[in-house]
Structure 1
Amino acid sequence: MEPVAGPAQSADMIPARPRGALSLIPGLLACAAVAVAAVAVQALELQLFGRGWIDAIVLAILIGAAVRSVWTPPAVLRPGVEFSARTLLEIAVVLLGASVSAATVMAIGPGLLLGTAVVVTLAVVVSYGLGRLLRLPRRMAVLIACGNAICGNSAIAAVAPVIDADAEDVSAAIAFTAVLGIVVVLLLPLLGAALAMSDVRYGVLAGLTVYAVPQVLAATLPVGPVAAQAGTLIKLVRVLMLGPVCLALAVIVALRGRSDADPDAPPRRVPLGHLLPWFIVGFLLMMGARSLGLIPAAALPVLGWLTTALTVLAMAALGLSTDARAVARSGPRIAAVVTLSLLALVGLALALIGLLALV
């Protein structure tokens, strides 16, 4: 935590924070340009076809990725793009909490909550088994399994210090989950439409399969608010599974008494922020405020609009940050494991939805 400037503190230290904020502007403007283009294309769709076939949230990803494939953004854009792709997404998740009440959580029911935990556990086991079957190193298999089953890059970052994964393993795992995460966001609505799923069923499917919490918004908001609420709540349960999974891995490493890199290395501690990210806490607080009636009804439409706007902007940044060529550099075995693990996760999710006979 930075010290508060006192009376004796020199004035030349004061501009440091504004300079940091100003460095975000070029990247924010680039993301805004992509977001505006996405909104314009959606408006053109409405004018030509009478409906938006592809939502602005998805269009922002596509346009951003298309730009990134032919142009590498200069370094001056990086702070703003990274801020948009991460922080603005997380803020959108916090704001989404205002649309969810405790009654909504209770409506999900204990069966679905327990089923979500079971799906995550099975997905970790199946994905790890696929990785070892295709002869991936143990640590790489664990990273892919946790990233696939829980929350993509965030899970990989949290699990890596627990299992002493090196930078190359982490980079390769993140490269695939970043690209495949976008593919899931783009293709999942098509699967939901093909299966004629209700908004609740589709939201549960998205919550169980989409990698990152904020990406659930991109996959569900085009379908409707009910799908977004259900998807976010289920995804919340998946994220909360990160704590028990990390603790379990730490116990396993401790029982083994060694790591592949250093036989005498003890298991590392995982920062609390990796187990329970701030935006999840914010989501819960906003949900609590909504349940207690602390958020005026008149503010809900404004918060909903702001959530969507921030998500479109963040998806533009995500597209500008994703280099699809990274997939080719990570190897076919990793690609096969990640893809098969995702398909297994989708299968487990559909099985749970069918077993619980959701409406």
Structure 2
Amino acid sequence: MTTENKQNQEKPRKNPNSNTKWTWIGGVVFTFLIALSGYLLALLPGFAYVGQLACAIIIAIIYRQIFGYPKNLKSGITFSSKKLLRVAIILYGLRLNINIVLNDGLGLLIRDAVVIIFAILLMIWLAKVFKANTTISLLLGVGTGVCGAAAIAAVAPIVKSKDEDTAISVGIIALMGTIFSIIYTIIRPILPISNIDYGIWSGISLHELAHVALAAAPAGEDALAMALLAKLGRVFLLIPLCFILIYVIKLKKNGSSKPDTKIAFPWFLIGFIIFSILGTYVFGSVIPVSDEFMNGVYTLSTWLLTAAMVGLGLSVSLKDLRTKAMKPLIAMVITSIALSILAYFIV
């Protein structure tokens, strides 16, 4: 054996998993740092209306355009945008009180269903008219009809949306929802409807839970309670909607000549359902749980969702944003206006 071979044998071998572990941790931490930046930005006057989620996505997109995608942190960033996203959706189930929806919101559920069907079908039709990106348009239709970013995040794996398309959709929904909620608060005093009806109108037509709260709060506690109840009904309908989408996509693929007919089952939806049941029937009644604990879980789910959206936002190219998002954005503006008008007349 030569001296060179002996030296090579004596050198300690580097563990390839060591680098992978640190880049993974670094990627996850990186998404949370940008999420923190979004949180701090949302504290500034004016940006509070935009919200932590949208601010974080904007920062992530700007970072990508200036510094490029941090490829050395890709594994951790992907973990945030895929795995943490699913955990956030599961925890989001605790926000849905099934008992309240079934006991007090059955009448609202019918109107919620009408709103969801209308928003999705109109977005799909407008996408064909404008020749817009089909995936982004569908995600925006679901986000507009159901519950904004959370609905988009839940549906994206089912329709096999690209990370970039999902991030674009979330960014648009956050922006438009903020604009519409501010418009609602401005026109509320001149609307010829009661505060309760205004609350219901906000709950069945606005995009995000935060947007509903922002718009309904000035009308009083009763209006806010009805708004949130109407919104909870839309969140509740996210569950059957996802299963309907799975069924429709399978039918389309089975009827096509494409060999790949498999659709990964979104198991995180089962987690969403389980946590909804736990939050409704177990926590607080069978198992004593403090409000501080529940608020802590809500905060955790918000941070996880924000970090996940940062991961998605880092994959957005502004060049693609201009070419892919403009037509779906126009379609969504039309859909949101039409939805507000429809909701106003069915309240």
Judge same fold: TM > 0.5, yes or no. Answer: yes
1:296: how far off? 0.8
Amino acid at match of 2:63: V
**Equivalent of 2:315 in 321, 325, 341:** 321
Amino acid at match of 1:190: I
2:317 is the counterpart of 1:303: no
SS in 1 for 2:82: helix
Structure 1 unaligned residues grouped into runs of 5+ = 1-14, 161-169, 210-215
2:16 is the counterpart of 1:24: no
Structure 2 contact 164–312 (Cα < 8 Å) conserved: no
Amino acid at match of 1:28: V
2:177 is the counterpart of 1:194: no
CA RMSD of aligned residues (A): 4.0
Relative to 1, partners in 2 of residues 1:102 and 1:64: Cα closer, same or farther, differing over 3 Å? same
Q: Distance in 1 between matches of 2:42 and 2:246?
A: 42
**Equivalent of 1:354 in 334, 344, 347:** 344
Relative to 1, partners in 2 of residues 1:271 and 1:41: Cα closer, same or farther, differing over 3 Å? closer
1:56: how far off? 3.3
Q: Distance in 1 between matches of 2:169 and 2:201?
A: 22
2:271 is the counterpart of 1:271: no
1:182: how far off? 0.5
Q: Distance in 2 between matches of 1:115 and 1:86?
A: 33
Structure 2 unaligned residues grouped into runs of 5+ = 1-14, 143-150, 189-197, 218-223
Structure 2 contact 101–233 (Cα < 8 Å) conserved: yes
Q: Distance in 1 between matches of 2:261 and 2:341?
A: 36
Instruction: Show the counterpart of 1:212.
Output: none
Instruction: Show the counterpart of 1:184.
Output: 173
Amino acid at match of 2:335: L
Q: Distance in 1 between matches of 2:78 and 2:339?
A: 31
SS in 2 for 1:321: coil
How many residues were matched structurally?
A: 304
Structure 1 contact 189–219 (Cα < 8 Å) conserved: yes
Instruction: Show the counterpart of 2:147.
Output: none
Structure 1 contact 55–222 (Cα < 8 Å) conserved: no
Amino acid at match of 2:278: M
SS in 1 for 2:283: helix
2:55 is the counterpart of 1:63: no
Structure 2 contact 23–76 (Cα < 8 Å) conserved: yes
Amino acid at match of 2:37: A
TM-score in terms of structure 2 length: 0.68
1:92: how far off? 2.9
1:30: how far off? 1.2
1:234: how far off? 1.4
Deviation string 1:54-77 (CA, Å, 9 cap, x unpaired) is 543332222222212211232221
Relative to 1, partners in 2 of residues 1:99 and 1:116: Cα closer, same or farther, differing over 3 Å? closer
Deviation string 1:136-167 (CA, Å, 9 cap, x unpaired) is 7xxx75x455433335475465346xxxxxxx
Amino acid at match of 1:130: L
Larger radius of gyration: 2
Q: Distance in 1 between matches of 2:335 and 2:170?
A: 13
Structure 1 contact 250–267 (Cα < 8 Å) conserved: no
Percent identity between the aligned chains?
Answer: 17
TM-score in terms of structure 1 length: 0.66
Q: Distance in 2 between matches of 1:245 and 1:107?
A: 27
Amino acid at match of 2:84: L
